Structure 1
Amino acid sequence: MSSLYETTEPSVVNEEMLQKAVEEQGPQNKAGLIAKEEGIQYDEVIQLRLDYRNILKIEHLWEFSSLRKLQLDNNIIEKIQGLEKLTNLEWLENMDALKNLQILSIGNNLISQLDNITYLRKCKNLRTLNLAGNPVCKEENYKMFVAAYLSDLVYLDFRLLDEQTREKAFTQYQYAIEEITLSDVQEQRTAEAQNRTEQELRLHEEAFVEHLNGPDLFDSMYADDPEAAKLACLPGVSTLLESYKTQLVAFCMQMFEVGLTHHTRRQNEVESFFTCFHEAVADNQQRAAQITADFEKSRRQAMAGMQKVADTRLLEAQITNCSEEITQLSQTLMTLELQLVDQLEDITKDFERNISDMVGSFIEYVQGIFVQCRDLENYHHEKLLEIAEATLEKVAKNVLGEDLPDDVRLLFVDKDTVVNAVSTSHDTHLLKIDNREDELMTRVNRWMNSLMKSIHDETIKRNCKRISEIHNYADYVREQLEKMRLQEHH
């Protein structure tokens, strides 16, 4: 290994390293400045080099979802791991498992364990693997191990894996491969199930109804209720609780199902708005582009003609006329932009009114259901209080036919203690219901406000950029005219 590894501190892939690498390897000069100003999106990066950086561990690459070529050779990496999310990678120079990975070059690192090779089974399209220069290459069974566990591999360390080697490798590792294959299948099934669960939860969160499709609200009410366990021991309370839970879960399911329906309607409205918005912009841009192209064609012809004019007065008249045409073009493009601004404003106002109505309708429905939840809790409170007071009377007369735990009997020293216990439980439940309602309404309103703010901000940003483009183009063609005037005077 190079002495570089002995003199430089080991490093990890962090945000600073990635940002610097992307900027260094991205567009340069004016294109680079524009890219830096607008911000480079990691999920759009196709190639990235991180070689010769003394990297010990790979991290923070999950945002590079479109990466196809990644160079990480000549570092000090010890394990092949951590790139599962880079599903578009086709060519990787050092590390992990990407579904579309075809060529993996991990030369001159510190990979020493054969077990690292099994990780690459996740790369279903891997056909070429280079591990040359790693300690693992010195293992006695290195070639056989790789050929057995990566059965679709064609080239290893720049050499073809022949059929005889494959057959011998499979025979040697047959049972181990069968075992790991079963493990891979189970792992895939587990991952798929987890992914489905996560996708469902994301959908429920986007609809603001997560955990309302079951007893979560009821369970949370009693989990934080210090008196719940004691009161549940009273005669007849278990039946009361079962009925209460069934009805409360039914209310929650109503909110859940209606929430998903409203979410679909909101999403359709959002998609319709952006389709209309982008169509308006595209149509305006097409018209502006045609006007500019016609002007540019005429301008070039005029410039070519002016170069042949010998009469200074005639040339000056033509320059003046061209300057007036530039002003007219600028005014035309500005008028077109103002028309677009008005059009987008109308589209946005209609959308804001529609989405506000949708959110308001959803909130109104949710508030109505939560009122029913509170009414149900109040009814339950009254029934529980009746049971508690009846139990107190029986305890006082020593005619209670059931044994109560000692901590429960302590509630029945007097009526105030019993009433306070039941009231504390009731207050806890109401607070949970209120908090869940507040959370839902706060989030849906925050979503709407954030969406509208982003739309307004992007509209202003687009408008400012377009005005700047018009001014810049007008300034450019005027500079060309001025250069021609100066050349004529000289």
Structure 2
Amino acid sequence: MAHPLELAEPNVIDEELIRNCITTVEEISIAEDKKKEMKTETELHDIKAVSFSFQNILRIDNLNGLFSLVKLQLDNNIIEKIENIGHLVNLEWLDLSFNNIQNIQGLDTLTKLTDLSLFNNRIEELKNLKTLQNLNCLSVGNNLIRDVVHAITYLRPFRKLKMLNMAGNPCHKDPEYHMRIVAHLRDIVYVDYRLVDPEKVQQAREQYQEDLFEILEEEKKQAEDEKKAEDHQQWLDTLSEANLSGVDTLLKVMLDEDPEQGKLHHLSFWLEIIDEIQHEFKGMSKDFIDNTLNANKAKYAEKERFIDALRSSRQKSDGDSIALVGKFDLKKKKLMRQLEDLREDETVKKLRELQDLNTELNDDLLELGLRQMEADDQIVSDFERRYGDLVNAFVEAAQNGFFAKIRDLENAFHTRAVTMATDELEHFAAGQLEDVTDEAQIFLGDKDIVFASLNASHDAHLGIIDGLEDQIVTKERKTFNTLVAEARAESHTRDRKRITEIATVTARNNKEIVELIQSEQEGWNR
């Protein structure tokens, strides 16, 4: 049987409909005049709640600009797909009940959602909700969900979920439906609109004790894995911030991207000398990383010193400027009080004196501004010199320290590999090698191929070392140059703004004085 609304022409969401459907977040009665004002005067970007209930809407669309929307009601329509609401990131309450929705989708970005109703749709499976960890209330009753085990497994990570309704689904007929839910969903308070009985919860957990133990063990392992992943990401972020990305994994990349590794593994000693170089590399990379992270403390301190120096210098200059303007304003107020007692010619004379004082104020403020410009330039130059020394020290440690050592390590590795390969080829030729695979026999049977492979591997390793060195040095210098350029640009922008402010203040003063003089002179003529 067709949905009653399906018999009518579908409604399209437009601004007129949006305004007609504006409501309040809390369900409170509003006077008609206030309601009319709210629907006509509210800007789209300020609308907090909209109710499109019973509007015969087929497609969710044209909600652009409703960035402040907190509550959205789309219930009792003929909607078939959740779409075009991903930008409503402030949404907390969403009602899509009594529609024709088959799949849960398009909600990933709505992470502030606390209340979601998908009651009475055609949904068969809970999915695409994992980002909605703030969900407090979820209603998916009267749908086509059959597997209660899958549902509760999916919902278990939602630690803020207190209310769940799945009544009216095929899974509701499962005799263990309620017990499974209260046993597995630790934080649930209401199931199908009924308060959960603590005694039932205890009974359910005892009934599913073995299952819960396995789940808890799984969750513990997952938490440990997530913690490891988080720690690893923090470590990668630390390396990136210190411009050390790739240093700790350099040898791994050298081996992984070496096109000759497959062939060289046929050499009986190959894995042994790789283990040895890995051990030496680990010590070298750790020393370089530790030393750099420690040296970077001086960089952070230098940045803080630079910021403090600028702030202190500018605060003093700003204070002096404010004092000059305040001094002028006091003189102006004093003169304005005296004007009524002066003769007309004396009044104009005093006003012209005030005009001269305003010119002096302009000159003094510009002089202060000029001195501040020079002070800023000196502070930036001192920072450039001191921070530049730290940058040069890092580049020196990278080029002539770490990367030079890694090249020496690679060269020694290559020399040793060639020597050992020579011995192995001699033993192979003399038939003194045992357990040689067919592929290894083919490889070792051609001396030129073996040495060509070793040389190609060596060249590939050196190329990767050179590439990372160039990447790190280039980034270090570029970051430094950008830092200094941004500091000078900020100082220049501030200087221009200050000059504009001075011109505005003194021009306003001068205009006021000129108008007073003109007023006095017009009085003489009358």
Q: TM-score, normalised by structure 1?
A: 0.69
Q: Which runs of 5+ in 1 are unaligned?
A: 11-20, 26-47, 62-69, 154-160
Counterpart mapping for 1:162-173 below 5 A: 168=196, 170=198
The answer to whether the 8 Å contact 1:208/1:444 transfers is yes
The answer to whether the 8 Å contact 1:234/1:387 transfers is no
Q: Does 1:379 align with 2:412?
A: yes
Residue 209 of structure 1 aligns with which residue?
244
Counterpart mapping for 1:339-358 below 5 A: 339-358=371-390
Equivalent position amino acid for 2:68 in 1:
R
User: In the TM superposition, what is the alpha-carbon distance from 1:149 to its structure 2 partner?
Assistant: 4.2
SS of the equivalent of 2:268 reads coil
Q: Does 1:247 align with 2:280?
A: yes
> Separation in 1 of the partners of 2:484 and 2:397?
23
Residue 464 of structure 1 aligns with which residue?
496
Residue 517 of structure 2 aligns with which residue?
485
User: In the TM superposition, what is the alpha-carbon distance from 1:297 to its structure 2 partner?
Assistant: 2.8
Deviations 1:286-339 (A, max 9, x none): 221222222223323323443x26743222212211111111111111111111
> Percent identity of the aligned residues?
20
User: In the TM superposition, what is the alpha-carbon distance from 1:267 to its structure 2 partner?
Assistant: 0.9
Deviations 1:239-277 (A, max 9, x none): 222212211222111211112112221111111111121
Counterpart mapping for 1:294-373 below 5 A: 294-306=327-339, 308=340, 311-368=343-400, 369-373=402-406
Equivalent position amino acid for 2:233 in 1:
E
Residue 268 of structure 1 aligns with which residue?
301
Deviations 1:351-394 (A, max 9, x none): 11111111111111111221111111111111211222233333
Give 1 or 2: higher helix fraction: 1
Q: Which runs of 5+ in 2 are unaligned?
A: 16-41, 47-66, 75-82, 98-103, 118-128, 142-150
Alignment counterpart, residue 393 of structure 1, candidates 412, 422, 426: 426
Q: Does 1:7 align with 2:12?
A: yes
Q: Does 1:432 align with 2:467?
A: no
Residue 200 of structure 1 aligns with which residue?
235
> Separation in 2 of the partners of 1:23 and 1:97?
30
User: In the TM superposition, what is the alpha-carbon distance from 1:97 to its structure 2 partner?
Assistant: 12
Residue 61 of structure 2 aligns with which residue?
none
> Separation in 1 of the partners of 2:333 and 2:91?
46
> Separation in 2 of the partners of 1:188 and 1:486?
80
Deviations 1:213-254 (A, max 9, x none): 4xx221111111122232233133332222122112221112
Moved more, 220-229 or 179-188: 179-188
Q: Residues 224, 50 of structure 1: CA spacing in aligned structure 2 closer, same or farther, 3 A cutoff?
A: same
> Separation in 2 of the partners of 1:356 and 1:314?
62
Residue 415 of structure 1 aligns with which residue?
447
Q: Does 1:57 align with 2:85?
A: yes
CA RMSD of aligned residues (A): 4.6
Structure with the greater alpha carbon radius of gyration: 2
Counterpart mapping for 1:43-82 below 5 A: 49-50=68-69, 56-59=84-87, 82=109
SS of the equivalent of 2:333 reads helix
SS of the equivalent of 2:267 reads coil
Residue 19 of structure 2 aligns with which residue?
none
> Separation in 1 of the partners of 2:269 and 2:304?
53
The answer to whether the 8 Å contact 2:136/2:160 transfers is no
User: In the TM superposition, what is the alpha-carbon distance from 1:459 to its structure 2 partner?
Assistant: 0.8
Equivalent position amino acid for 2:316 in 1:
D
Q: Residues 184, 462 of structure 1: CA spacing in aligned structure 2 closer, same or farther, 3 A cutoff?
A: farther
Q: Residues 298, 196 of structure 1: CA spacing in aligned structure 2 closer, same or farther, 3 A cutoff?
A: farther
Equivalent position amino acid for 2:428 in 1:
V
Deviations 1:181-219 (A, max 9, x none): 969988776665544433332121111223534xx2211
SS of the equivalent of 2:258 reads coil
Q: Residues 380, 324 of structure 1: CA spacing in aligned structure 2 closer, same or farther, 3 A cutoff?
A: same
Q: TM-score, normalised by structure 2?
A: 0.64
The answer to whether the 8 Å contact 1:352/1:452 transfers is yes
Equivalent position amino acid for 2:326 in 1:
A
Aligned residues: 410
Q: Residues 75, 453 of structure 1: CA spacing in aligned structure 2 closer, same or farther, 3 A cutoff?
A: farther
User: In the TM superposition, what is the alpha-carbon distance from 1:71 to its structure 2 partner?
Assistant: 6.4
SS of the equivalent of 1:226 reads coil
Residue 292 of structure 1 aligns with which residue?
325
